[in-house]
């Protein structure tokens, strides 16, 4: 067990111990913790390097808390399919539900149906703006606009004056907020931002879209992508046009490839929202709620943003390879 997992595990155990978690621990209706079953429904697939870390956090929390957890996600970014997964999960009457909420309009009815059925629900990753409105226990994640704002400010400090924000899911409220924050952050130093929509199901086409945007506006000197899967085609686009190092590249979220690029000086920074905690903490909180009736008064918004730069990338590479960052 690496240092990061050990630290989070010890924290969870300390929290559990402070509330009388023994073995076996009894729930509010006399149910042993091992009988508790939670369902996680996210909009991101475990094959995505970002979401695989979320799922690793979920799995570790399930082991540490001694509960049962099922992780589900649609095959692609599909709000109809995701709402159906939530409905199906609610029908099984779980002891708790964790959801990401990239589109509140599309998912709200299904999520609120869970709340009305008396199922404790926590949102993670996206949904901080609607968690209270929907009656959820809490939200675990980062505030997307502020993270994008910080990215724009850092880009401006690095001399970027014209940038593109590469968005792979236009209409995903969290990603749209990242681009909006980025636009406002860069505007503080007089810079401008254009949003470029790409389809990451076709990386070659995504690379071509980035190359076309760079070709159409030779004044662009900054590129922000909204995740590791978007960073890869953008990195190749800069390499293919011999602009790597001339145009500053940054991204949201971490992967081994992103960290290697930062360490090599090919990327300026990555925004780290510590998605391992976004998977881990909701399971701990649902367990506490079920066994000790604990609630969280305020959303947990301190998982991010943090910034990984060339100065600290090497220290995080090992943790990322282990699937916890």
- The percent of residues in the chain predicted with pLDDT above 70, rounded, is 89
In the predicted model, is pLDDT for residue 20 greater than 70? no
- Is 82 within a domain? yes
Q: Is there a single domain that holds both residue 267 and residue 150?
A: yes
pLDDT digits (tens, 9 = 90+) for 25-55: 444 455 578 899 999 999 987 777 789 899 9
- Is 62 within a domain? yes
Q: Is there a single domain that holds both residue 38 and residue 97?
A: yes
- Is 321 within a domain? no
The DSSP-derived string for 212-278 is HHHHH-TT--EEEESSHHHHHHHHHHHHHTT-BTTBEEEEES--HHHHHHHHTTSSSEEEE--HHHH
In the predicted model, is pLDDT for residue 294 greater than 90? no
Band (pLDDT 50/70/90 cuts) for residue 303 is: low
Q: Is there a single domain that holds both residue 112 and residue 171?
A: no
In the predicted model, is pLDDT for residue 23 greater than 50? no
Q: Is there a single domain that holds both residue 31 and residue 131?
A: yes
- Is 230 within a domain? yes
In the predicted model, is pLDDT for residue 15 greater than 60? no
> Which residues constitute the domain of residue 149?
144-272
Q: Is there a single domain that holds both residue 132 and residue 279?
A: yes
Higher pLDDT, 318 or 122: 122
Q: Is there a single domain that holds both residue 69 and residue 195?
A: no
Q: Is there a single domain that holds both residue 198 and residue 255?
A: yes
Q: Is there a single domain that holds both residue 185 and residue 253?
A: yes
In the predicted model, is pLDDT for residue 318 greater than 90? no
Q: What would the mean pLDDT of 239-263 be, rounded to a whole number? A: 93
Q: Is there a single domain that holds both residue 182 and residue 239?
A: yes
- Is 316 within a domain? no
Q: What would the mean pLDDT of 235-249 be, rounded to a whole number? A: 94
Q: Is there a single domain that holds both residue 114 and residue 165?
A: no
In the predicted model, is pLDDT for residue 3 greater than 50? no
Higher pLDDT, 201 or 120: 120
- Is 309 within a domain? no
- This prediction's pTM: 0.74
Asked if 271 contacts 252 with a C-beta cutoff of 8 angstroms, the reply is: yes
CATH of the domain at 161: 3.40.50.2300
Give rounded-to-5 percent helix, strand, coil for the chain: 45, 15, 35
Average pLDDT over the chain, rounded to an integer? 88
Q: 3-class SS at 159? A: coil
Domains held by the chain: number: 2
pLDDT digits (tens, 9 = 90+) for 91-147: 999 999 999 999 999 999 999 999 999 999 999 998 888 999 999 999 999 888 999
């Amino acid at each position: 067990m690496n240092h990061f997992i050990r630290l989070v595990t010890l924290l969870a155990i300390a929290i559990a111990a402070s509330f009388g978690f023994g073995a076996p621990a009894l729930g509010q209706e006399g149910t042993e913790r091992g009988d508790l079953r939670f369902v996680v429904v996210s909009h991101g697939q475990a094959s995505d390097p970002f979401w695989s870390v979320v799922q690793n956090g979920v799995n570790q929390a399930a082991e540490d808390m001694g509960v049962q957890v099922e992780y589900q996600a649609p095959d692609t970014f599909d709000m109809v399919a995701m709402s159906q997964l939530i409905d199906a999960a609610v029908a099984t009457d779980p002891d708790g539900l964790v959801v990401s909420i990239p589109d509140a309009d599309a998912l709200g009815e299904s999520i609120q149906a869970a709340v009305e059925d008396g199922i404790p629900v926590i949102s993670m990753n996206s949904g901080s703006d609607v968690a209270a409105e929907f009656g959820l226990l809490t939200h675990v994640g980062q505030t997307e606009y502020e993270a994008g704002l910080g990215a724009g400010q850092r880009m401006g400090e690095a001399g970027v004056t014209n940038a593109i924000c590469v968005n792979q899911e236009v209409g995903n409220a969290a990603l749209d907020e990242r681009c909006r924050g980025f636009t406002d952050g860069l505007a503080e130093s007089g810079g401008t931002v254009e949003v470029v929509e790409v389809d990451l199901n076709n990386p070659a086409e995504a690379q071509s879209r980035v190359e076309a945007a760079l070709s159409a506006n030779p004044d662009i000197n900054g590129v922000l992508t909204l995740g590791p899967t978007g960073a890869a085609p953008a990195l190749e686009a800069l390499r293919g046009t011999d602009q790597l190092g001339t145009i500053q590249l940054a991204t949201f979220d971490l992967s081994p490839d992103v960290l290697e690029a930062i360490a090599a000086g090919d990327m300026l920074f990555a925004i780290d929202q510590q998605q391992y905690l976004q998977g881990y903490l909701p399971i701990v909180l649902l367990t506490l709620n079920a066994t000790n009736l604990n609630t969280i008064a305020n959303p947990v918004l301190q998982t991010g943003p943090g910034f990984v730069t060339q100065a600290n990338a090497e220290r995080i590479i090992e943790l990322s390879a282990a699937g916890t960052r």
